[in-house]
Amino acid sequence: MQKGLVWFRRDLRLHDHAALASAISSCDEVHCLFVFDPEILSKLEDKNDARVQFIHDSLVEMQNQASIEVRYGDPKKEILAYCQEHEISDVFTNRDYEPMAKERDQAVKEALSSKNIKFHTFMDSVVYEAKRTLKDDGTPYKVFTPYMKRWLSVLAEDGFEVANYQCDLSKIVKTKNSINSKDWMKEVGFHSCKPHLEAGTQAAKKQLEAFKKKISDYTIMRDFPAADGTSMMSVYIRHGNISVRDLVRAAQSGSTEGHHKWLSEVIWREFYQYILDQFPQVEKQAFRPAYDQIKWRGGKKELEAWKNGETGFPIIDAAMRCLKATGTMPNRLRMVTASFLCKTLLVNWREGEKWFAAKLLDFDLAANNGGWQWCASSGVDAQPYFRIFNPYSQSKKFDPDGIFIKTWCPELSNLDEKSIHAPHELLPMEQQLAGCVIGQEYPAPVVDYAKKRVEALAMYKQALG
């Protein structure tokens, strides 16, 4: 009898799952395992981290459909021990493209190989890996648009269809240490907390169906934070509650500009995964090495004001308070707040990358690093360094009535749509009448935007020559 073990990681679902489908089709008996890795968890300083709860809750939902063994420890040791306990001959898992994950998987493979246990990996978290989307000369793309054209040409070669792996769960055997066997949040050193978004496949599918009803307006509405115009799918794809192929099928459900824009965003995600896979050095350094020479002039004062949403720039503060409270932030505001940190506060983009990594419910190394380097102009196909988002014009354009600002900065609630974007420009009497005295109820701008714009350009020019 051939016994297989499916090792779940960032693919917490039981449908359209490449590794699970392969194990089911090739084995007589299938075991499922999730390992809480202390090396990863020890780096999370906040013991109320909603991401750990999100993973926990996803496992609870999976357990209601099929038995999942849960363990805590070094994956190499835990997987090998489980295989020996249950006479497993083959281990199945989906590939992860992060540098640390590649090293971990290689260590697991070698440990299993020493005991004659086969280790099978599958493409699942992306639609196409690099081997199908390289240039004709075999080198990787470094610009998004040509990459997207290549990606779409491969989709056309495949008849515009993506795989849909069928998973018959009847072969999955029961295990004793499920997510329900003990208080696993306490076991791994975290407190129970409630994520801003409900975890699991059912919640993911419900959210995707709701988004499909408004996807035709996606191109325009995605930029307005008060309009709920984004898909809110990033956290579900990050934890694998839903497959990337589900997202592609949603994009193919219509032919509006919104459907096309949504597909391009899915491809952007693939592009950043591709870049991290092909250029792993971006985790530690700028994609464009010259940008590592920048002498950042901003300090701790500016950084802390940015983190806490106390910069005196309403759209920035609203976005940062939203992030801190919910672990989410619309993409437009991620770009605006990142540009503001780098090119207005003149703080090293790595500080912002670390803060987002600690706070985002949908944190993904490839996307977070790619997005920050894009905003800092140091990354692949990044905006030019002289393009600097103006927080005032961005606020007026995308939150014209100040609805999003008032949601997260209630001290500004009495201001009208003209004054809310730059309340420090109000006369002292006007501030008193609005019940918002700058420097008391709401902070004064931590810097002068116009002056800092000039300084930012000089800072970049000095480093780049």
Active site residues: 265, 268, 296, 331, 349, 372
Nearest in space to 91 (alpha carbons), one of 72, 71, 125, 115 = 115
Per-residue tokens: 325: 């409270």
CA pair distance 320, 337, nearest whole angstrom? 8
User: Residues with Cβ < 8 Å from 421, sequence gap 6 or more?
Assistant: 314, 315, 392, 395, 396, 402, 405
The DSSP call for residue 308 is: H
The DSSP bridge partners found for residue 6 are 32, 92
Long-range contacts of 139-144 (CB under 8 A, 24+ apart): 140/274, 140/275, 140/278, 140/279, 141/271, 141/274, 142/380, 142/381, 143/380, 143/381, 144/268, 144/271, 144/380, 144/381
CA pair distance 10, 81, nearest whole angstrom? 21
Contact between 216 and 250 (Cβ < 8 Å): no
Give me the sign of the Cα torsion angle 77, 79, 82, 86: negative
- H-helix segments, 143-281: 144-157, 184-187, 201-212, 218-221, 234-238, 244-251, 257-278
Per-residue tokens: 306: 């940015």
User: Residues with Cβ < 8 Å from 163, sequence gap 6 or more?
Assistant: 16, 18, 245
138 torsion bin: left (phi>0), alpha (psi -120 to 50), beta (else): left
Q: Is 310 exposed, middle or buried (0-12, 13-18, 19+ CB in 10 A)?
A: middle
Tell me which amino acid residue 296 is: W
Query: In what helix (H) or strand (E) does residue 72 lie, and over which residues does it extend?
Result: strand 69-72
